[in-house]
Structure 1
Amino acid sequence: MDSRDGAQERGTTWEVDDVKLLARQHRVRVPEQPAPPRPIGPKLLDEGSIHFALDTALRIGEVQMATGAGAADVTATILAVTDAFGLPQCEVNVVGTSITVTCHRGSEASPVTAVRVVRSRSMDYTRLSETEDLVTKITRGRTDLHTAAAEINRISNAPHPYPRWVATLALGAMAASITVLMGGGPLTATLAFVVSSLIDRIGRVLNKRALPLFFQQVVGGLIATLFAVLALSSDLPFESPSLVAAAAITVLLSGLHTVSAVHDAVTGYNVTAAGRTMEVIMMTTGLVTGVVIGLQLAITLGFPRAPLPALPGPSAISLPVEIIAGAAAAGFFALASYARLRALLLAAIAGGVGTTVYSVLRLAHADKIAATAVAAVLLGFCGGVLSRRLRVTPLVVAVSGITPLLPGLLAFRGLYEAGVEPVGQFSTLMQAFAVGLALAAGVVFGEYLAQPVRTQLGRLERKLAGPRMAGPLRPSRRRLQ
């Protein structure tokens, strides 16, 4: 047997070695053999199972996005869930209210794509928390695909944990707490409770009739302003009727996804950020329109002009009352958003801490915007570090904690100056806008600062980039883009 026959019997590997030896003898360069391609594609074999897994992951992302989670958090959650379901090569695209997931199956099979559109928003923090628990079970291998699909179906279709009238009373109590925080007395706080509860009930009726949210905000601002004017013209000893309108405006501002819009902009989801920012602008514009119409209507009907509401200055004497009122406002907002007991307690603590930091900085003669930003950064930091360990989504703590700091009184004063004064002034209104932006940006930056600290504590987020307000702690096995 000659050497050629022996090489054929030994196989292809020896043939390649012989070629390399011959090439070295004749000084000819032979290109290296490429490494065999890494197999990609799903571990689920049939296409029906792939569709089922993608649909389950999309429904999880839909719940998160509907409750105010950022696009980056939704993307990271879906990637982690699909990876746990055996779909390692997936791409997620979140644009506006649309979520698209594509599963790549290599070069020999066409990809599988699923799309879901978030058509409605629901501030149900219990639903968000249960979804977070389900994501944790999925990523840690504690549940299979069919069980997860049944669970997310139950979460999505489950009723709110509290009756709707409880949420209405919670919003009224939140308005009363905001009134006390701004220096109002018991009678003014009672009227703010009634007005905000009435606005919520009317808003629910209008929502059932499919009236756009812009016009609902117009109606809310109009009702709040007219009640403040009527209280001024009555014989009852109201300390400052303008606080009623300011408290109602704060309640109406609290439901806007300002934090989510800033979060999307910071994490690079500019299209989604632009859409959410436009939504916030439209809702705020509706509120502005309602307040201005109410003020002008009161002047036209001959009602006495409401005095320009005074901005309360810092006071060490009233500091304990302000802290309690801030904690109550944050807790009642969480209750109105259907949060459970643990989240309620954390939200109340966050509201008290934020109010304390803001008031102390104001006593130290800090600027209003700077004091607001520092308080928001601290809330985002503490919420990011502690809330995960207490099994509460940081988004719940952060959004509830900044509620007492919302510029409701500043906004009403700015609207009064722009719509009632003979020469319209917009400086106060712009200051209110700056305070709102400082709140949202401060929370996102605080969560960003909390990330390395939380990584050292838990060692579960080594590959995550950017602030995380919701979603799984454990990242996908491949780097998130």
Structure 2
Amino acid sequence: MNVLSAVLGKLVLDRRATVDAVTEAPAPLQPIDLTDDATVAEALDVAVRVGEVLLAAGTGAIDTSDQVQFVAATYGLARCDVDVTYNSIVLSAHRGPTMPPASTMRIVHYRSMDFTRLAAVDRLTRRIRRDAISPAQAREELLAITSAPHPYHRWVATLAWSAMAASIAVLLGGGLLVAAVAFASTLVIDRVNRYLNGLGLPFFFQHLVGGIIATAPAITLYAFREQLGISVSPGLIIAAGVTVLLSGLSLVGSVQDAITGAPITASARFFELVMMTGGIIAGVATTLRIAAVLGSDLPVINYVVTTGLTQLPSKVAAGAAASLFFALACYAERRALTAAALGGAVGALVYQLALGLSVGPIIASATAATVVGFAGGLMARRAYTPPLVVAVAGITPLLPGLALYRGLYAILQTELLVGLTALFAAFGIGCGLAAGVTLGEWMARTARYPRSMRRAGALRRPALRRARPRRARTASPTPETTKVTPRVARLRRDFRRS
């Protein structure tokens, strides 16, 4: 019990993540000179570079715009216009009626799910607000954050992706053999795609190759099952690999932008999502068609969701493990790993309980995602973990990899109605997950603070507590040891008056 309390105490602290604090920027303690073009340009550069890291990590356009404007306003540039699109940030600051506005633009050339970098930028933004550090110092620290190497070795991320695939295979109902094959195939996918990425191959073709590698081992084992004397479910192996490939896409960001009022960015992200998913489908379909030509057809998947209480602990543990390994693969900090595991466990638990009420997978997914978003927001807003980390990791085990594969296989077998129904179900589950996370985070932001956790700005008010006097183990205190300083006397007097 004490260990659990200590873990929760480290997660739920009185430190809000700045990305979750949608508030007006306070008046700067040391505002910059608005007539100095160099200093203004440096402050704007810090603001757009902060937005670059947030946008590259999958943060929504509205949240990115708020943080860019927050940093600029902290330095005295309170009147700013921010325009955030799919891969660009434009910031224009008004300096008064007699001076021309200052503007800058930043293009995001990369997509990086580096949660350690995201958390470090979140802490830097908090320091800019609390300590009023100069733009030069903030820019130097920001450059150090963005140029720092990953906290873990690349092989650690590869093994984490593989372990995530094995956990999802167990979550779907697979056994030890299915989990082992999913682990091995995902390891090959990650290493091959890393090599192809170094060659500059577009991501569409990388996902196509990933779909081929995820499908080929399952077909091979099923074709030689009698010779090997094994019983294997190839559909679960393919679904686990597809889920891993889907986890790196910006599903939450695209739907969140559409809901919160950024249609241009939402359209661009959604089109990218469709294209990358199309690459996965093309890879799986190519492998299945080659197998059919060679006379090795896979069986039709008759997946029945089991909601018994006997399997609930294993599914919750598998969901927690999948979320934890996803966060580890994205280079999350140790504090974030614990939060991600709790989010995955909560999501899997709520999802299984909702399925037991016969509400359907779409509503069950949306309900679980709402709880994950709410719980993640409550944990993240008082910890050094951005809410995006907990939200994305928490819904990863619920991604519709199996429904996507079922729809594709049915279409290849000329069962168009069944295939389209499964594909639309996968689309509905994905939208339900993203919408649920957005609603949960909004609920966490609007939740009232406990009275003991209320704060004034960024400073904590001193509080006095009446403590029980300790029994002296030595001799009676001397007058020197009982001397009361003026500060202590004043605090005692204020305490008696209150």
Common topology (TM > 0.5): yes
- What is the aligned partner in structure 1 of residue 477 from structure 2? none
Tell me the residue number matched to 2:379. 386
- What is the aligned partner in structure 2 of residue 173 from structure 1? 163
Q: Which has the larger radius of gyration?
A: 1
Distance 1:446 1:422, change over 3 A: closer
- Any idea what SS the aligned residue of 2:409 has? helix
CA distance in 1, matches of 2:101, 2:415: 64
Distance verdict in 2 for CA 1:238–1:205, change over 3 Å: farther
Map 1:92-103 → 2, pairs under 5 A: 92-103=82-93
Match of 1:305, SS state, is: coil
Q: Is the 8 A contact 1:43 1:87 kept in 2?
A: no
Cα distance in 1 between the residues matched to 2:79 and 2:380: 31
Instruction: Output the CA distance in 2 between the equivalents of 1:120 and 1:459.
Output: 39
Could you tell me which residue of structure 2 aligns to residue 466 of structure 1?
Answer: none
Whether the 8 Å CA contact 2:113–2:330 is kept in 1: the answer is yes
* Residues 1:118 and 2:108 are matched in the alignment: yes
SS at match of 2:131: coil
Instruction: Give the match for residue 19 of structure 2.
Output: none
Q: 2:424 matched to 1:434?
A: no
Work out whether 1:266 is the aligned partner of 2:256: no
Q: What letter is aligned with 1:287?
A: I
Q: Which amino acid aligns with 1:48?
A: A
Return the TM-score normalized by structure 2.
0.82
Which residue of 445, 448, 456 corresponds with 2:442? Answer: 448
User: Aligned AA for 2:154?
Assistant: R
Deviation at residue 244 of structure 1 after TM alignment? 0.9
Name the residue aligned to 2:465: none
The answer (yes or no) to whether the contact 1:411–1:428 under 8 Å persists in 2 is: yes
Cα pair 1:240 1:309 within 8 Å, conserved: no
Secondary structure class of the residue paired with 2:104: strand
Q: Residue type matched to 1:187 in 2?
A: L
2:391 is aligned with 1:398: yes
Query: Is structure 2 residue 58 aligned with structure 1 residue 68?
Result: yes
Contact 1:311 1:410 in 2 (8 A): no
The answer to whether structure 1 residue 323 and structure 2 residue 323 are counterparts is no
State the distance in 2 between where 1:165 and 1:264 align: 33
Is contact 1:242-1:309 (8 Å) kept?
no
CA distance in 2 between counterparts of 1:422 and 1:385 reads 45
Provide the rounded CA distance (Å) in 2 between the counterparts of 1:64 and 1:382: 21
Aligned mates of 1:420, 1:455 — CA distance in 2: 55
Q: Does 1:228 align with 2:222?
A: no
In structure 2, what is the Cα distance between the partners aligned to 1:265 and 1:81?
A: 25
Is the 1:84–1:141 contact (alpha carbons within 8 Å) kept by the matching residues of 2? no
1:289 alignment partner, one of 264, 282, 304: 282
Structure 2 unmatched ranges of 5 or more: 1-30, 459-498
Deviation at 1:233, TM superposition (A): 1.0
% identical aligned pairs: 44
CA distance in 1: counterparts of 2:134 and 2:268, whole angstroms: 35
Cα RMSD after superposing both structures: 1.9
- Segments of 5+ residues of structure 1 without an aligned counterpart are 1-40, 463-471, 473-481
**TM-aligned CA deviation for residue 429 of structure 1:** 1.1
Aligned to 2:364: 371
Greater shift after overlay, 338-347 or 215-224?
A: 215-224
Q: Point out 4+ residue stretches in structure 1 off by more than 4 angstroms.
A: 454-462
Note the C-alpha offset of 1:69. Answer: 0.7
How many Å apart are 1:168 and its aligned residue? 0.6
Match of 2:469 in 1: none
Counterpart among 36, 56, 59 of residue 49 in structure 2: 59
Take 1:414 and 1:461, find their aligned partners in 2: how far apart are those partners? 54
Partner SS state of residue 140, structure 1 = helix
How far apart, in 1, do the equivalents of 2:120 and 2:87 lie?
22
TM-aligned CA deviation for residue 216 of structure 1:
1.0
Displacement of 1:221: 0.9
Counterpart position of 1:163: 153
Query: What is the TM-score normalised by the length of structure 1?
Result: 0.85
What is the aligned length? 423
**Counterpart residue identity of residue 391, structure 1:** Y
Contact 1:177 1:328 in 2 (8 A): yes
CA distance in 2 between counterparts of 1:52 and 1:145 reads 6
